[in-house]
Amino acid sequence: MNLKKRLFVLVLLSILFLNVFSQESKNITMNLNQCIEYAKEHNLTVKKAKLSYEQSQVGVYEAKQSLYPDLSFGSGQNLSYYNEKQSPALDKLSYTGSYGLNSSVTLYNGGRLRKNILQSQKQEEISKLEIKNVENQITVAIIQYYIEILFASESVNIQDAILKLSEQQLKRSDALLKAGSISKADYAQLESQNVSYRYQLVQAKNSLQKTKLDLKQLLELTDDIEIVIPKISDEDVVAPLQSLNDIYKNSYNGFISITNSKNNIEISKLSKSIAKGGYYPTISLNAGLNTGHNSQSTLNLMNQLKSGFFESLGLNISVPIYSRGQNKSNVKKAEISIQQSEVELALAEKDAWKIIETLYLEAINNQNSFVAAKAKVKAQETSYQLVEEKFNLGMKNTIELMTERNNLLIAQQEMLQSKFQEIMSKQLMLFYQYQPLDLKY
């Protein structure tokens, strides 16, 4: 190989190495809390909620500015043409200009301006809480996906272990077949079950990748993600829970739907006060500075502006006498809105109780299921070992061996499912109480 070829091979290997390194560097490793914080910063739904909050802040600014006087400058410039026969003493073309600085302010309108400010501030608070609400929804989804990934990872391990067990048994069965201890039909059944276990392992891996993809999409990630596997002991699973009432009490103020329902009641009450303000008069003050000039005048421009200058100050009062029932309708609508908001609060409290009670009962049931499933796995392992020993001695047939192995796999899956469902329920209850998640790494 000449020097040029060696250099070409070296460059090619370097490029391949850099590509592999860049691909490996794209893998992101996160634990549960890191996933949650990343989603809060990058999720598009959260960003959308933040923009809505910024809009509500502008609404508060506008409401506050309505208390102050406005100020505007106006000017009019006009050209006029006169027929010489009609106005022989005037120029054919005339030019006039006017200039004015005007201001007005509302002094009184039944308190509606200040109540509009309070209403806008409540809307701002709701928009800010909506950011938290979206973050909470995403956090709940991340907890669920994260625990599902843990479950799927353990499922892969179980499927892999049962496949290896099946392959070991298949090798021993091959020796038994050659020795004439089992028939070809028995061996074929064991071989078929081994293929089935291999397929189940592929399905378990596919399920794991699918759940990882769901988590990536929620995090707005394009790179591959690897999650940190926490150390969850059996003691963590069966650890006692707080009482249901204490959990609900601690989580009550954490439900954004409850807080926003209370805010909506306040907004509806303010709407009623604003509607009642329609019965009161509106008092406003206006002032102006105006001047002008005309090309037909014999005075020069500055003298015209000076002589034409005038000031104005006015107080306007508007007293509602008959509004065709509009004020009455507005008050009635606001009263209905108050009642609707109170019903929404009751529904929000009901939903919150349902969520907490469901999680609590699921945690209790899964703890009991885990204890029972763990005992079942232990008994099934012993049973399988005995059947396997008897099968190797020719005392048990293939069907009995396969049945025991499947029973062991089912028992392991049941224990795994109850374990991670209990962990999920417990983590969600901690989250709703705004307590730190307690997965140990």
What is residue 258's predicted lDDT score, i.e. its pLDDT? 95
412 has a pLDDT exceeding 60: yes
What is residue 297's predicted lDDT score, i.e. its pLDDT? 81
The dihedral through the CA atoms of 191, 197, 203, 205 has a sign that is: negative
User: Where exactly are the structural domains of the chain?
Assistant: 29-67+111-280+326-432, 72-108+283-319
283 has a pLDDT exceeding 50: yes
Query: Hey, which residues does 312 pair with through a beta bridge?
Result: 288
Banded model confidence at residue 89, pLDDT cuts 50, 70, 90: low
pLDDT (mean) for 321-325: 89
CA 107 – CA 286 distance, rounded (Å)? 10
Q: Give the position of tokens 């973050």.
A: 135
What is residue 331's predicted lDDT score, i.e. its pLDDT? 94
CB 434 within 8 A of CB 132: no
Banded model confidence at residue 20, pLDDT cuts 50, 70, 90: very low
What is residue 23's predicted lDDT score, i.e. its pLDDT? 46
Residue 428's nearest CA partner among 368, 370, 356 is 356
User: Reading across the β-sheet that carries 93-108, which strands appear in turn?
Assistant: 70-81, 93-108, 282-294, 310-318
pLDDT in tens, 124-167: 999 999 999 999 999 999 999 999 999 999 999 999 999 998 88
pLDDT (mean) for 362-373: 95
- Mean pLDDT is lowest, of 231-235, 326-330, 364-368, for 231-235
107 has a pLDDT exceeding 60: yes
CB 354 within 8 A of CB 432: no
Query: Hey, which residues does 284 pair with through a beta bridge?
Result: 106, 316
The pair of three-digit structure tokens given for residue 302, joined into one six-digit string:
């500055």
The fold adopted by the segment(s) 29-67+111-280+326-432 is Outer membrane efflux proteins (OEP) (1.20.1600)
What is residue 6's predicted lDDT score, i.e. its pLDDT? 54
pLDDT in tens, 116-135: 999 999 999 999 999 999 99
Banded model confidence at residue 175, pLDDT cuts 50, 70, 90: confident
Give the chain's radius of gyration (CA, Å).
Answer: 40
pLDDT (mean) for 46-50: 93
271 has a pLDDT exceeding 60: yes
CA 122 – CA 110 distance, rounded (Å)? 20
Mean pLDDT score of the chain = 88
Banded model confidence at residue 391, pLDDT cuts 50, 70, 90: confident
What is residue 300's predicted lDDT score, i.e. its pLDDT? 87
User: What amino acid occupies position 72?
Assistant: S
286 has a pLDDT exceeding 60: yes
The pair of three-digit structure tokens given for residue 402, joined into one six-digit string:
């396969």
Give CA separation, 171 vs 166, 187, 194, 216, 396, in Å.
Answer: 9, 10, 11, 41, 17
3-state secondary structure the chain: CCHHHHHHHHHHHHHHHHHHHHHHHCCEEECHHHHHHHHHHHCHHHHHHHHHHHHHHHHHHHHHHCCCCEEEEEEEEEEEECCCCCCCCCCCEEEEEEEEEEEEEEEECCCHHHHHHHHHHHHHHHHHHHHHHHHHHHHHHHHHHHHHHHHHHHHHHHHHHHHHHHHHHHHHHHHHHHHCCCCHHHHHHHHHHHHHHHHHHHHHHHHHHHHHHHHHHHHCCCCCEEECCCCCCHHHHHCCCCCHHHHHHHHHHHCHHHHHHHHHHHHHHHHHHHHHHHHCCEEEEEEEEEEEEECCCCCCHHHHHHHCCEEEEEEEEECCCCCCCHHHHHHHHHHHHHHHHHHHHHHHHHHHHHHHHHHHHHHHHHHHHHHHHHHHHHHHHHHHHHHHHHHHCCCCCHHHHHHHHHHHHHHHHHHHHHHHHHHHHHHHHHHHCCCCCCCCC
What is residue 82's predicted lDDT score, i.e. its pLDDT? 67
